Amino acid sequence: GAVVSQHPSRVICKSGTSVKIECRSLDFQATTMFWYRQFPKQSLMLMATSNEGSKATYEQGVEKDKFLINHASLTLSTLTVTSAHPEDSSFYICSADPGGFSYNSPLHFGNGTRLTVT
């Protein structure tokens, strides 16, 4: 089945530093990937849609200059949290769309990255 790999699984950083999270589709190509954020005991909230070769589309209230997204290839999207603050501590999850008008094309999710900003 389709596998999405997310790295790192956990990261602790100091306030003011930047952190990069990678999302890779291992056995399929994904023109579109999605980035979600999840706070404790809450559901996933879409942050942005990442499109290969073009600028990401951010949801309302998500700062594009703070959460930099790069989707340079069909198998890799990165999310960089710049100048991280403690309130950015959260669980970040990516997903990738195997694509096509196919009956069997559910989104596949990475295992998430737990970010703690101290």
Q: Which residues bind another protein (CB under 8 A)?
A: 4, 6, 31-32, 34, 36, 42-46, 49, 51, 91, 93, 95, 97, 99-103, 105-112, 114
What angle is formed at CA 91 by the lines to CA 80 and CA 18, rounded to 5 degrees? 25
Least separation in angstroms between residue 79's CB and another protein is 14
Between residues 16 and 39, which has the closer beta carbon with respect to another protein?
A: 39
DSSP 3-state percent helix, strand, coil across the chain (nearest 5)? 5, 50, 50
Q: Which pair of structure tokens corresponds to residue 51?
A: 């499109």
Nearer to another protein, 51 or 70 (CB): 51
CB 48 within 8 A of CB 61: no
The amino acid occupying position 118 is T
Q: In angstroms, what is the minimal distance from the CB of 66 to another protein?
A: 20
Tokens 């990442």 correspond to what residue?
Answer: 50
| Min dist. Cβ of residue 64 to another protein (A) | 17
13 or 45: CB nearest another protein: 45
